[in-house]
Chains A and B, each alone.
Chain A
Amino acid sequence: MSERPEPRAMASTTEPLPAGAGAPAPASPPTVEVRVPPRSWRSEVRAVKIVWHRELIRFQKDRMRIVTSLVQPLLFLFVLGAGLQQLSAASTHGVELKTFIYPGVLCISVMFTAMFSAASIVWDREFGFLREMMVAPVRRSSIVVGKVLGGATVASFQGLILLALAWAVHVPYSLTLVVGVFALQLLLAFSITAFGVMIAARITQIQSFMGVMQMIVTPMFFISGALFPSGDLPNWLAVLNRLDPITYAVTPMRTLIFNHLDISAEANKVLNPPITWFGWEVPIALQIFTVFALGMIMLGIAIVEFNAGD
Chain B
Amino acid sequence: MPNPAISVKDLRKSFGDFEAVKGVGFEVDGGEVFGFLGPNGAGKTTTINMLCTLTKPTSGQAEVAGYDVVAAKDDVRRHIGLVFQDPTLDGYLSAEQNLRLHAELYGVEKHLVKPRMEQVLKMVGLWERRGSQVLTYSGGMRRRLEIARGLMHSPRVLFLDEPTIGLDPQTRSSIWGYIRQLQQQEEITIFMTTHYMDEAEFCGRIAIMDGGEIVALDTPAALKEAVGADRLRIETADDERAIGELGERFGLEATVSEGAVSFAVADGEEFVPRLFAEMNVPIKAVSLSRPTLDDVFMSHTGSTIRDAEESSAKNRNRAALQAMGGARR
A binding-site residues for B, Cβ under 8 Å: 14-15, 17-18, 21, 27-39, 42-43, 46-47, 49-51, 54, 57-58, 61-62, 124-125, 127-129, 131-133, 135-138, 201-202, 204, 309-310
Contacts and interface: CB of A to CB of B under 8 A. Distances in A.
Interface residues of B, number: 54
B116 A309 contact: no
Contact of A136 (B84, B93, B97, B105): B105
Given A18-B128, A36-B153, A50 B104 contact: yes
B90 A137 contact: no
A36 B327 contact: no
Contacts of A58: 90, 92-93
16 contacts: A17-B122, A17-B125, A31-B186, A34-B113, A35-B154, A36-B153, A38-B75, A50-B105, A128-B84, A128-B88, A129-B88, A137-B75, A137-B107, A204-B329, A309-B328, A310-B56
A36 B108 contact: yes
A309 B329 contact: yes
Nearest to A131: B88
Contacts of B90: 54, 58, 124, 127, 129, 132
Given A43-B107, A46-B107, A49-B104, 4 more contacts: A32-B112, A42-B107, A309-B328, A310-B55
Nearest to B154: A34
A49 B87 CA distance: 24
A310 B112 contact: no
A49 B116 CA distance: 21
Contact of A37 (B82, B107, B185): B107
A54 B101 contact: yes
Given A57-B97, A135-B53, A36 B106 contact: yes
A131 B154 contact: no
A136 B112 contact: no
B54 A310 contact: yes
A62 B92 contact: yes
Interface string B104-143: 1111110011011011001101011000010000000000
A72 B128 CA distance: 42
Contacts of A36: 78-79, 106-108, 153-154
A132 B100 CA distance: 13
A46 B105 CA distance: 7
Nearest to B329: A309
A107 to B, nearest CB: 28
A238 to B, nearest CB: 38
Contacts of A61: 92, 133
A33 B107 CA distance: 14
B77 interface: yes
B275 to A, nearest CB: 44
Contact of A135 (B52, B92, B101, B122): B52
A156 B178 CA distance: 45
Interface string B215-254: 0000000000000000000000000000000000000000
A57 B88 CA distance: 18
Contact of A28 (B75, B108, B116, B181): B181
A134 to B, nearest CB: 8
A161 to B, nearest CB: 21
Interface of B: 52-56, 74-75, 77-79, 82, 84, 86-93, 97, 100-109, 112-113, 115-116, 118-119, 122-123, 125, 127-128, 133, 152-154, 174, 177, 181, 185-186, 327-329
Given A31-B185, A31-B186, A204-B329, A132 B107 contact: no
A57 B93 contact: yes
B119 A137 contact: no
Nearest to B109: A34
A137 B74 contact: yes
Contacts of B133: 61
Nearest to A47: B105
A204 B177 CA distance: 38
Contacts of A124: 90
A258 to B, nearest CB: 40
Given A46-B104, A54-B101, A29 B86 contact: no
A28 to B, nearest CB: 7
Contacts of B104: 46-47, 49-50
A23 to B, nearest CB: 14
Nearest to B55: A310
A31 B79 CA distance: 17
Contacts of A49: 104
A48 B64 CA distance: 27
A298 to B, nearest CB: 18
Contacts of B125: 15, 17
A91 B115 CA distance: 68
Given A28-B181, A34-B112, A127 B118 contact: no
Contact of A29 (B79, B105, B108, B119): B119
Contacts of A131: 54, 84, 88
A77 B141 CA distance: 47
A34 B108 contact: yes
A223 to B, nearest CB: 30
A135 B51 CA distance: 12
B109 A132 contact: no
Contacts of B153: 34, 36
Contacts of B118: 29, 32
Contacts of A17: 122, 125, 127
